[in-house]
Structures are given as C-alpha cells and as structure tokens.
Amino acid sequence: MNTMLRINRDTCGYCGTCVAVCPEDALELIDAYLSLERECIACGICARACPLGALEVVHEE
Amino acid sequence: MKSKYDMLIVGGGPAGAIAAKTAAEAGCTVCLIEKRPAIGTPIRCAEGVGREILEEFTRPDPRWISSSIERAKIIVPNGTAIRLDQDDPGNAVGYILDRKVFDRELVWQAAEAGADVFVKTRATAPIMEGGAVRGAKVISIGTPIDIRADVVLAADGTEAQFARRAGLDTTVPLREIMSCTQYLLTDIDIDPVSTDFYLGNDIAPEGYLWVFPKGERTANVGIGISGRKSRDGSRAKDYLDRFIAENFPGGKTIEAIVGGVPVCQPLPCTVADGLMVIGDAARVVDPLTGGGIGNAMFTGRLAAKVAAEAISAGDCSKKTLMPYDVGWRASRMGASLTRNYKIKEFFITLDDRKLNVLADSIASIGLAEFSVSALIKELIKRNPKMLFELGALKSSLS
Ligand SMILES: Cc1cc2nc3c(=O)[nH]c(=O)nc-3n(C[C@H](O)[C@H](O)[C@H](O)COP(=O)(O)OP(=O)(O)OC[C@H]3O[C@@H](n4cnc5c(N)ncnc54)[C@H](O)[C@@H]3O)c2cc1C
Ligand code: SF4
Ligand code: SF4
C-alpha cells in the first residue's frame, strides 16, 4: 500500500500555513502553486492545519 | 541585479521593507527579493495596527488607512461585551490599514532610499560556506541566479523556509498555528469605529473571531482557530461561515483570504553566521492578539542597524550580529512577547462558563486605559482565585 499527500488545488488558497507546520520541509509555495518538493512522510499535520481542507493523506492499494 | 550586495533581504512584507529602507539609509547596498509577482497581495491580514507603533515608522496616510479605530469590544459566549474605550474620544487608538497599498508604500520607501527590489524572485536555498550564510540561490522569473551578500535577512514570513534551510528549526507546532479564514464583507451593519473580538469554544476554539471595520458598512470578518482544533467539518472556514450565516446573513463577500499565524514562542536564537531572522519568520507575533505588523517593522529596523554596523566592521559572524537578538529580547516588545505567551497559554484553558464569569465581573466598569495589559490587570484584581496562575505576572502588567 502506498500513502501519499493529495493536494486539491481547486480548494487551496495558497496561504503557506501547511508549509509552516510541515516537520519535513516538504512543501513549497511557488506563487499560487503549492508543490510537494521533497520527501513527505505522510504524517498529515499539514492536512489538519489547512484552513480550507485542501490537503488529504490518501492510501492507495 | 548585481551578483553581490552588502545585504540581501528575503521577503517583501513589512519586516523586509523596513529593514531594506534602514540599511539603504545607512549606506549599505541592499537587495530585496519577493517571490510573489506583486508586493502586498494577496493579503494575509486583518490589517489592524496600533497608532503609536505605526507612527514610529511612518506617517499615517489616508491612501492606505481604511478606518480609524476608537474602541474595542470583547464579546463572550453569553453575549456580554467588555468595552475598551479610550479617554480621548475622537482620537484614533489604532487603524485598519489597506495593506495592499501599505506594503507597497513601505517597499517604495525602501527603493527610494536606494535598495534594489525584485519581484517574482524566490530564494530556494542559502549559499553556505564553512557553516556561514553567504547569500542565496534564487530563481528570478525563471532564471536561476546566485546572489552573494555579507548578511542575509530572512523576512519570509510564516513559511520561514530560508532560516530553516540554513539550519534553524522554524517549524510551528500544530497547536500553535492559528488557522485563519477571512472575508471582506460588505453591506453589513457594524460599529464602524470599533474592533470587535468574539471569544468562545463554539465560536473560535483556542482563538477568536474578529470584525474589523474597513468602512461604514464593510469589514474584515475573520477567524483564527488552533491547528489542533482544525478538522474536516470544523475548520476555520466552517466556523466563519456559521457565524456569518447567523450574524451577517445579507453580507456580500468581495474578497476571501486564508492564512496561518504562528503564536508559538520566538526562535531560540534569531541570528547565525551571516544570517538574521526578522518578523513572522522569527516567530515574534504577539501570541495573545496575533498582531505582527508592528513587531515585524521593529525587528526589521533593529536587525538592519546591527547588520549595517557589522558590515562596516567587516565581521558578520553570529557573535557580531548577536546584539540584534539580545536587543529585541530586552526591549518592551520582547518583554510583552514573554508575558503575553503565558497569558495566552492560560486563557486557552478557560471554558465558556469561566469566560462568561470573567466578562461579567468587568463589563459594568469603565476601563481607564485602552490596553490589553490594563484589561488583564483588572481581571486579575476582580477574579484572584480563577486567575491565580496569572497573579505572578501582575508586576509586568504596566
Ligand atoms: C488572517 C491573518 C490576520 C492577521 N491580522 C493581523 C492584524 O490585524 N494585525 C497585525 O498586526 N498582524 C496581523 N496578522 C499578522 C501579520 O500579517 C504579519 O505579522 C505580518 O505580515 C508579518 O510581516 P513579515 O514582513 O514578517 O511577513 P509577511 O508580511 O508575511 O511577508 C513575508 C514575505 O516573504 C515572501 N517570501 C516567502 N518566502 C520567500 C522566498 N523563499 N523568497 C522570496 N520571498 C519569499 C512572502 O511571499 C511574503 O510576501 C495577521 C495574519 C493573518 C494570517
Ligand atoms: S494551508 Fe491549505 S490553503 Fe494554505 S497553502 Fe496549504 S493547502 Fe493551500
Ligand atoms: S503529510 Fe507531513 S511530511 Fe507530508 S507534507 Fe504534510 S506535514 Fe509535511
């Protein structure tokens, strides 16, 4: 099973709150585009902090 | 863009802009970079600022003042409102800014003082040599460039990735990030000279909801809740939508923004060899109010002054830059950060019943002074048992 972070860019308001709480410095806000730039441990902290619910840790078979 | 400057400033918010202006006026060559294509937008702010701190840095200008504030109200779950009035009616205690214009004005002033400014230019990593920061790798409208500098000021706000990549841990604990949503609502009934704060665990858990007037019938209506209280179905936006449906059903949203405010303690150290951290990136937001504009400007100016001296002395080691860190901690701002952090940590433990009791104890008296510390002092006086833990702070509440 594969665990990964899904970014819903239609919901994202590109505010950087998720960037500030990520313990791995995995996220990067490039203008209005939130990008997963480095290794993500799928801890879900960013998904909790997001004011809009644009992030989701998903488990794929 | 030159390949070498005395000072490189990463981030074009109030911290970076004031630092750039101060350093350019001190005779340094300065480069200010901002990753967004336009300074000041989208805003990440409720735009409230105290008159005194603002005037320390620039003269209030109607071009970027949306409204003048004469009072504040704190409204608890049972509806009781604590009113903070000022003694001198008609005189502003603070302002609601138009930050899109304000932030530009500050960068403009920096440019006029001689700083180079580049937008859509993002620092991706520090240039490190022998453990010291010697500049930054940037991407400027698609082109990768190395910019070298004697000192880099990290003014990159909440995200604070520059200092992190230079080895300082800037991660904000989930419980200490305020997860925020705000609408610019128009066509609503408000008190146009009052900043209103709503408290309560069903309204804004471990945070508050604000109504900051931007005109006669327009306001920034927003909310911040603790990251640990944020979940599907009960996120900042959900709480805000519920409040607005109940209180401003006819309001029209003409701008919607989100953001995160760090209300943790400041970084354990805000300097390193060749590096200084200022503003939100240094985590110097007032943890009780979430206000950070004033502290960003204050730390920006102080850091630039210390850096300018270090540059002219030809030594930008951590030791030489240390007076900045020591200086802001010893300042009034430093003392109030320490105190307000303790107050915040205590207040988030209070349930709605206690909030109501506290508000009722004080609602009928007129507070002589318009300040958070005067309010807290009065609350401790009237509720010594409930606020026993805060008693030790009494002497610091001047
Ligand atoms: C919803 C909300 C409401 C708020 N309300 C208030 C209020 O009413 N009053 C108040 O005083 N404060 C308020 N604040 C806090 C206030 O907005 C900040 O404290 C203030 O903007 C801090 O200024 P700064 O210069 O440190 O950072 P910022 O203003 O955040 O500026 C940082 C800049 O750095 C840029 N940047 C980031 N990374 C890079 C990079 N790698 N390269 C180049 N540029 C980069 C960003 O794009 C940004 O423009 C609020 C914050 C939020 C989120
Ligand atoms: S916290 Fe949410 S809205 Fe903000 S940048 Fe991250 S995903 Fe987007
Ligand atoms: S899931 Fe965890 S590691 Fe991955 S981006 Fe989010 S906070 Fe960072």
CA of B258 from ligand 2 middle (Å) equals 8
CA distance A24 to A41: 8
Same domain, B26 and B133: yes
Range of the domain at B228: 68-95+173-263+346-398
pTM equals: 0.97
Q: What average pLDDT does this structure show over B51-62? A: 96
CA distance B268 to B327: 14
Tell me which of A57-61, B91-95, B145-149, B392-396 is least confident: B392-396
Same domain, B168 and B303: yes
Closest Cα in chain B to A53: B232
Same domain, B238 and B295: no
User: Tell me, what's the pLDDT at B368?
Assistant: 66
Q: Is the CB of A14 under 6 A from ligand 2?
A: yes
Give the tens place of pLDDT for each residue, B101-153: 999 999 999 999 999 999 999 999 999 999 999 999 999 999 999 999 999 99
Residue B63 within any structural domain of the chain: no
User: Tell me, what's the pLDDT at B356?
Assistant: 96
**Which tokens sit at B355?**
């909030």
Q: What is the ipTM of this complex?
A: 0.97
- For residue A8, the domain's CATH number is 3.30.70.20
Domain boundary among B285, B300, B330: B330
Report residue B374's pLDDT band, with 50, 70 and 90 as the boundaries: confident
- For residue B184, the domain's CATH number is 3.30.9.10
The answer to whether B258 contacts A19, with C-beta atoms less than 8 Å apart, is: no
**Which tokens sit at B120?**
């859509």
What backbone torsions phi and psi does residue B393 show, to the nearest 5 degrees?
-90, -5
Residue B372 within any structural domain of the chain: yes
Same domain, B238 and B274: no
Domain boundary among B330, B356, B380: B330
| Residues shown for chain B | 398
Give the tens place of pLDDT for each residue, A19-56: 999 999 999 999 999 999 999 999 999 999 999 999 99
Report residue B342's pLDDT band, with 50, 70 and 90 as the boundaries: very high
Q: Give the number of domains in chain A.
A: 1
Q: What average pLDDT does this structure show over B327-356? A: 96
Q: Is the CB of A53 under 6 A from ligand 2?
A: no
Residues 6 or more apart whose CB falls under 8 angstroms from that of B288 comprise B340, B341, B343, B344, B347, B372
Residue B56 within any structural domain of the chain: no
Report the 10 Å Cβ neighbour count for A48: 22
Residue B53 within any structural domain of the chain: no
Task: With beta carbons under 8 A apart, name residues in chain A contacting B285.
Answer: none
Residue B312 within any structural domain of the chain: yes
Ligand found nearest the CA of A21: 3
Q: Is the CB of A46 under 6 A from ligand 3?
A: yes
Q: What is the DSSP string of B244-309?
A: HHHH-TT-EEEEEEEEEEE-SPPPS--EETTEEE-GGGGT-S-TTT---HHHHHHHHHHHHHHHHH
Q: What average pLDDT does this structure show over B316-331? A: 98
User: Tell me, what's the pLDDT at B86?
Assistant: 78
